Copies of this chain bind each other. A is one copy, B any other.
């Protein structure tokens, strides 16, 4: 058989196995060396392919799709620096537990380190930031290699999906010719299944010991971290009731506003009066660390039980004495059960103390953030649910840096919104593209991205996907001409000649032209009235829409945020 047939058969086995084991989306970056894999993916009618030019944006787009569908997404680049452009998204997906199958085409081994064109060292290119790496062999027509391709694809899918989920990397060297034959019908190999242990609960003895310890604390909290906590809501509330400990929910937990007993105003409250509160003795933290710095500071001396449904180690405060693996709902209902006969030692006023604070803070927000002249960010985040009320359920992706923190502080009754963020490495890169990936397969009518001007600039290339695939997304760019967050940090104390040069970094860009470049509907808003009106208009049309919201200067922004507190 010919080489072009051998490769086609080998890749047919590989791609079929990816599909059979659960992959049905691929993001392909154009290139020459990757031709065999690009053709194999494109010719596999079962896999839906997106083709995007900038590998950095394309990789974050794949991250977005994978977050949305919860299954590994295939990502392909050609050899050379093209593959290097994947690193930021690979890093984010590694720390953010997003399953990816990263495929890089390579020059054949005899070209390595020889000065050949587009030949770099792609063996383990992403270092410790993948869960598994294989340097694939070159097809030679042997059935053993075809079987190896099948099994390797199955293993790659398994490793990407096993908690904590993440990226795996397979490097495929190819020799010329790069055009392959039509995909032959390969005699399918057997589906590979891994059978996991049946129980997601913890052992009875451990459970009882933990329950006993929990029952002894007077002041405790349950913290629901970023991630989708909706499936564990009943168990969270049950445990909260058993212990009479309040639940503080991160905005990205997606359970704020789902029940009156869930508290979301803690960040605002702790910023104002964190110092004078009774200390928290114990915390049960679910999933990833909380976004709120004020909260993390407040619980600095607490004993932490961390229940990480993704079976990872996410405990930057190094306070955790118990890291509990297993599925969140199972572990929590087990604990509730074990608490049942125990006398609970919690301070009887602790729960209502927080409920009252929460209600007070909600009233204050209501009063303070309904003033008609309020043009700063708190206004947007507080009214987000209202502004989107008529759109039905919507995806809301919030960028890192200021947006996720403002969301944390000010968004309390989001209604039927689903919140997303890139909280693996918390970068401001790739945000536009990740949101595009979310939008590409959302079941909802609207996807909203809230993003600062620097992050928007960073991934402007990500807008291209919206044009090419006619995605439906409204981007709210909060433009304060530079790095807003630094004004809130100690760096804000620097003299202007250092601050503006190194941190403020004003760019002077007006994003109207970016909108034109990518054929987007565009509105500029400077007041809350204009914001409301523009959003209303943009929500009635579809496609790519950019709302540039010019907010007060960074210094004024700090004082307006501070005003809200006072």
* Chain B residues with CB below 8 A from A30, complex form: 454, 483, 486, 502-503, 505
* Partner among B316, B457, B483, B493 whose Cβ is within 8 Å of the Cβ of A464: B457
Smallest Cβ-Cβ distance to A508: which chain B residue: B467
Number of copies: 2
- Looking at the complex, which of A87-95, A215-223, A337-345 is the stretch in contact with chain B? A87-95
Known: A119-B425, A425-B118, A494-B179. A113 touches B513 (CB 8 A): no
Which of B95, B111, B461 makes the CB contact (< 8 A) with A316? B111
* A468 within 8 Å of B (CB atoms): yes
A507 at the interface (CB under 8 A from B): yes
With A461-B460, A505-B53 in contact, do A426 and B491 touch (Cβ < 8 Å)? no
Interface status of A289 (Cβ within 8 A of chain B):
yes
A125 contacts which chain B residues (CB < 8 A)?
A: 127
User: Any chain B CB within 8 A of the CB of A128?
Assistant: yes
| Candidates B121, B458, B489; contact of A32 at CB < 8 Å | B489
**Contacts A87-B87, A502-B30, A516-B513 given: A129-B119 contact, CB under 8 Å?**
no
Task: For the complex, count residues of A whose C-beta is within 8 A of B.
Answer: 89
Residues on B with beta carbons closer than 8 Å to the beta carbon of A95: 115, 120
Within 8 A of B (CB), among A462-521: 464, 467-468, 483, 485-486, 489-491, 493-494, 498, 501-503, 505, 507-511, 513-514, 516-518
A442 within 8 A of B: no
- A501 CA to B511 CA, complexed, in Å: 29
CA distance A265 to B80 in the complex (A): 29
Given A32-B486, A129-B120, A517–B509 Cβ distance below 8 Å?
A: yes
Question: For A51, what are the chain B residues with a Cβ–Cβ distance below 8 Å?
Answer: 501-502, 505
Known: A30-B483, A35-B491, A94-B120. 10 other contacts (CB 8 A): A38-B502, A51-B501, A80-B425, A82-B427, A82-B429, A111-B316, A119-B425, A120-B129, A457-B464, A468-B507
**A residues whose Cβ falls under 8 Å from a Cβ of B:** 28, 30, 32, 35, 38-39, 42-43, 49, 51, 53-56, 80-82, 84-85, 87-88, 90-92, 94-95, 110-111, 113-121, 124-125, 127-129, 177-179, 288-289, 312-316, 318, 425-427, 429-430, 454, 457-458, 460-461, 464, 467-468, 483, 485-486, 489-491, 493-494, 498, 501-503, 505, 507-511, 513-514, 516-518
